Amino acid sequence: MIRATRIALGVLALACFAVAATVLPALGLEGLLRLGVWLAVAIVLHDGVLVPVMQTTGALAGRLPVPRSAVLLVEGGVLVGLLVSALAIPPLATQRNGPANPTVVPQDYLANLGAFWAVDAALVAVGLVVIAWRMRRSSARPSARTPRA
């Protein structure tokens, strides 16, 4: 099953390459260069920002005497927050450069990002409370079963 899935994904990837080969020349030299820059920035963002921040978060949270699920939850919250922040970079840059008309990039993206991080942090906090509550319950259970003297 896994082997068949891998082969199917490989064939799909080759089909995508074939479509790209027919479409990409239409971009022209300038378009191809811009596409190259876009892809390079994606790699820089991943390797230069996302990975170091995630590793630092994991290392710091890993030092604490907390279960693995709590560390993963915090890492997940940071990862999702970073991804949404990356999505906000292009509209923020466009606002800085002056949009073509008032219907382009009309949102307060910094305020939206702040609100998103707040909700993200709140959800992680709720998750941590649930993890702590479950731990307390599972550690309390054996003593509850002990018959009273």
Partner 1 sequence: MNADQERATAADRLGRRAFFGLVGTAVVTAGAVSAGQSFEVFSATNLVAPRVAGRGPQGMPVNKTAAAAGVLESAGDPLWRLRLDGPTGAVTFSRSELTALPQLEQVLPIACVEGWTTHGRWRGVGLAALLDAVGGSGGHRVRITSLESAGAYRVTTMGPEFATDPRTLVALELNGASLNLDHGFPARIMAPARPGVLQTKWLARIEVLP
Which residues lie below 8 Å from residue 123, measured CB to CB, with a gap of 6+?
A: 77
Residue 1 structure tokens: 């099953």
86: exposed, middle or buried (Cβ count in 10 Å: 0-12, 13-18, 19+): middle
Minimum distance from residue 45 beta carbon to partner 1 (Å): 13
Minimum CB distance to partner 1, residue 145 (Å): 30
Indicate whether 5 belongs to the interface with partner 1 (CB under 8 A).
no
User: CB under 8 A: which stretch of 3-11, 27-35, 68-76, 131-139 binds partner 1?
Assistant: 68-76
- Closest to partner 1 by CB, 65 vs 147, is 65
Q: x-or-dash pattern for partner 1, window 44-63, by CB under 8 A?
A: --------------x-----
Please tell me what DSSP assigns to residue 107.
S
Q: How far is the CB of 7 from partner 1 (least distance, A)?
A: 20
CA atoms within 13 A on the CB side of 108: 5
Nearer to partner 1, 22 or 143 (CB): 22
Stretch 73-132 residues interacting with partner 1 (CB under 8 A)? 75-76, 79-80, 83-84, 87-88, 90-91, 94, 100-107, 109, 112-113, 115-116
In eight-state DSSP terms, residue 1 is: -
Burial of 59 (0-12, 13-18, 19+ CB in 10 A): exposed
Q: Helices (DSSP H) in the chain: which residue ranges?
A: 2-23, 28-44, 51-63, 68-97, 109-145
Q: Given the rule CB under 8 A, which residues bind partner 1?
A: 58, 72, 75-76, 79-80, 83-84, 87-88, 90-91, 94, 100-107, 109, 112-113, 115-116
